[in-house]
């Protein structure tokens, strides 16, 4: 499934230009229309196992609620149509 705003796959992580927001692949697929972003790193967390040259701190790919299988608080969600992505 592709995002109607940026035309990229909903299950691929996207970053806002300033990297303070990151999309959650499962929340975005759940939305079905556009990428759903949350504050990074607060809503994601990091792990050394996911360290990469671009993100040496190792961002978790899914938001904390999705990883815990909890209901996601969408009140803080930011949508692809509202921001500039990288």
Closest to Zn ion by CB, 15 or 53: 15
Q: CB of 38: closest distance to Zn ion in angstroms?
A: 7
8 Å CB contact between 22 and 44: yes
Torsion of CA 38, 41, 43, 44, to 10 degrees: 100
Q: CB of 57: closest distance to Zn ion in angstroms?
A: 19
- Going by C-alpha positions, the residue among 11, 10, 15, 27 that lies closest to residue 64 is 27
Which residues of this protein are in contact with Zn ion, per CB under 5 A? 3, 5-6, 24, 26-27, 35, 63, 66, 80
Q: CB of 7: closest distance to Zn ion in angstroms?
A: 7
């Amino acid at each position: 499934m592709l995002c109607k705003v940026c035309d990229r796959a909903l299950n691929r992580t996207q970053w806002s230009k300033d990297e303070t927001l990151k999309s959650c692949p499962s929340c975005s697929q759940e939305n079905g229309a556009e990428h759903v972003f949350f504050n990074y790193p607060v809503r994601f967390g990091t792990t050394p196992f996911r360290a990469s040259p671009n993100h040496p701190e190792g961002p978790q790919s899914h938001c904390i609620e999705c990883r815990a299988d909890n209901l996601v608080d969408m009140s803080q969600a930011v949508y692809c149509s509202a921001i500039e992505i990288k």
